Structure 1
Amino acid sequence: MLKGVPSILSPELLKVLMEMGHGDELVIGDGNFPGASMAQRLVRSDGNSVPALLDAIMRFFPLDTFVGHPVGLMAVVPGHDYKPVIWDEYRSIIQKYEPFTDFEYIERFAFYERAKTAYAILTSSETALYANIILKKGVVQE
């Protein structure tokens, strides 16, 4: 154990976050996301929600300021009359740690293709629909 590190961040996840470089992407998948079949590196976080993981990660994770949208969400499938309220929670969490304007909304199958090239996929037990999120890592500026 270390001081100040949220216990939700496993040693495996911390290692992956430390290994990532500028421009690398981390996918945090909900409980329905097919992470195991897509991941180059799979980190499981069973029993945890995406908002709890996102909040813990964003304490340490710089977003890429050189791209228009360093955060991507899986867009609602056309014709599915659903408004993901979890997205408002994501916005609130991210804004606590980073200047942030808006999400990139990525069509479902395009999201899957992008996830296949991500540095790592973190799976959760999140039950909310459309709760998948991609974070593009920036640089630490101190």
Structure 2
Amino acid sequence: MLRNIPPILSPDLLHSLRAMGHGDDIVIADANFPGTALSQRCHRLDGVSATDVLAAVLTVLPLDTFVADPALVMQVVEDADAVPPIVGAFKKIITATADTPASLAKLERFAFYERAKTAFAIVQTGETRLYGNIILKKGVIGT
């Protein structure tokens, strides 16, 4: 056990978060996401919501301040302007938890999958709310 580390962050996931470098992406994905098919480094957190994982990850991972969009969500298919409730929840968590709050940019579904293929890791959650997927770009820890 470690202090001040959310217990839902498994040892393997903590290793990935620590091993990531500045500019690397991590995907937090819902239960429907093809995480294992898209990544050799897929961490399973079945039974845990994507919002809980996002809040836990942001306690240890800084967002990149050198890019315009360090947080990306999946655009709703056939309704690019729609904002699913979980996306609103993601925004609240980023505003409350991230060291540098950021807006959420959107990627079309297949563009999101392509970006996920290049991510350092994917965290497959048990999230059942639709469009419960977010990509975070790791920043640096300042002095």
* TM-score bracket for this pair, using the shorter chain length: over 0.9
Structure 1 partner of 2:100: 99
Structure 1 partner of 2:48: 48
Task: State TM-score, norm by structure 1.
Answer: 0.95
Structure 1 partner of 2:142: 141
Give the 5 Å matches for 1:1-142: 1-79=1-79, 83-96=83-96, 97-142=98-143
- Unpaired runs of 5+ residues, structure 2, are none
- Unpaired runs of 5+ residues, structure 1, are none
Amino acid at match of 1:15: H
| Cα displacement string for residues 34-58 of structure 1 (whole angstroms, at most 9, x for unaligned residues) | 0000013111111100000011110
Task: State TM-score, norm by structure 2.
Answer: 0.94
| CA-atom RMSD in angstroms | 1.5
Q: Distance in 1 between matches of 2:42 and 2:76?
A: 24
Q: Percent identity?
A: 50
Q: CA deviation at 1:81?
A: 8.9
Secondary structure of 2:111 counterpart:
helix
Residues 35 and 122, structure 2, Cα contact 8 Å, conserved in 1: yes
Secondary structure of 2:56 counterpart:
helix
Q: Compared with structure 1, are the counterparts of its residues 79 and 2 closer, same or farther at alpha carbon in structure 2 (3 Å cutoff)?
A: closer
Residues 28 and 123, structure 1, Cα contact 8 Å, conserved in 2: yes
Q: Distance in 1 between matches of 2:80 and 2:104?
A: 19
Amino acid at match of 1:91: K
Task: Count residues with an aligned counterpart.
Answer: 142
Residues 65 and 100, structure 2, Cα contact 8 Å, conserved in 1: no
